[in-house]
Structure 1
Amino acid sequence: MLTTPSTPAGNRSAPSVLVVDDEPVIREFVCEILEGEGMTAVPMESADTAAAYLNEHVEDVDILITDIRMPGSMDGAGLANLVANKWPQIPIIVMSGYETPATASIRCKVRFLPKPWSIGQLLDSVSGVAYSAVPSN
């Protein structure tokens, strides 16, 4: 079951992850894996919808996972750069089977997850950025 966060990011023990991928199967699979680990997953089908969501709900997002190549006025590289500039507190994980952050002109610090990835690699990437994303209480 895909959920929308209802608790502000600072009041949760598990991170809320914005998952952006234009491929429904990949997007739903990532969300299912994260929710199975107790996280909140917020699925978005494009960088454009993710940017609009962040403008309204940035306090509900701890981590961004985005594919690089996506249709729309902005791709995942543009989204990563936007998030790093506007909301630098949000760690970013980028996925791609075609490009790297350097070839996609990503100008910010990201964790790169090459496709195809394993479930363990996905969870390791999220764990690697989650400690900096969710404040300890």
Structure 2
Amino acid sequence: MKLDQIGQALASCYDNLVAEGIPDHLAALVRRVDHAERTAPLKADGPEARIVLVVEDERDTRELAESVLEETEMRVIGCDSAERALSVLQERGGDVALVFADIRLAGAMDGLQLARAIATLWPRTRLVVTSGVEPEPGVALPEGAVFIPKPWRAFDVLVEAERAARDPSPPVS
């Protein structure tokens, strides 16, 4: 079976789940699996580890995105605010390949402000911004950033993660 076919099958399964919200029993299962994986040795850790940051203040949605992105070879770190994401970036910015952030976040910064800061300070990081509403007219995403509307499909998120892992931006001169 080709990767595209697998992705399409995953996308159709997740479409209904994301659109309807995550049932409590599934959210509990995702949390248990997530805890088990976090206590297990990481697939790729150390100085060469690539990182995906998921920035979402709604816990169930963040955990769903984390579980989707854990299908990649990259290490996944969830953050509930832009400020927490910036603190991870300050520590490991060169290892962060992708930031997947909601526009509406708890805290002083929103996802668009976070995306602009990342585009300026870590220009090699791929940016994916998501929201249940389109960005306001006249509000531009940073160059190269991708917008995926909610409810997002797992396939679309995985495609962007693959691009981040496969085609990192060229070095900044």
TM-score relative to the length of structure 1: 0.82
Tell me, in whole angstroms, the C-alpha distance in 2 between the residues paired with 1:6 and 1:96. 30
Identity between Structure 1 and Structure 2 (%): 33
Tell me, in whole angstroms, the C-alpha distance in 1 between the residues paired with 2:137 and 2:143. 10
SS in 2 for 1:69: coil
Which residue is 1:114 aligned to? Answer: 149
2:94/2:122 contact within 8 Å kept: no
1:20/1:45 contact within 8 Å kept: yes
Which residue is 2:78 aligned to? Answer: 43
Which residue is 1:70 aligned to? Answer: 105
Which residue is 2:119 aligned to? Answer: 84
- Find the structure with the greater CA-based Rg: 2
- 1:93 aligned to 2:132? no
1:84/1:90 contact within 8 Å kept: yes
1:19/1:42 contact within 8 Å kept: yes
Which residue is 2:167 aligned to? Answer: 132
1:93/1:113 contact within 8 Å kept: yes
1:134–1:31 CA distance, 2 compared to 1 (3 A):
farther
SS in 2 for 1:62: strand
Which consecutive residues of structure 2, in runs of 5 or more, have no partner in the other structure?
Answer: 1-33
TM-score relative to the length of structure 2: 0.66
1:6/1:60 contact within 8 Å kept: no
* The one of 35, 59, 63 aligned to 1:28: 63
Tell me, in whole angstroms, the C-alpha distance in 2 between the residues paired with 1:101 and 1:18. 24
Question: C-alpha displacement at 1:112, in angstroms?
Answer: 1.2
Structure 1 residues 8-38: Cα deviation after superposition (integer angstroms, max 9, x where no partner): 3xx24xx420110001011111111111333
Aligned-pair RMSD on alpha carbons? Answer: 2.4
1:68/1:76 contact within 8 Å kept: yes
SS in 1 for 2:70: helix
1:74–1:120 CA distance, 2 compared to 1 (3 A):
same
Tell me, in whole angstroms, the C-alpha distance in 2 between the residues paired with 1:112 and 1:37. 20
SS in 1 for 2:53: strand
Structure 1 residues 67-86: Cα deviation after superposition (integer angstroms, max 9, x where no partner): 11112111100000000000
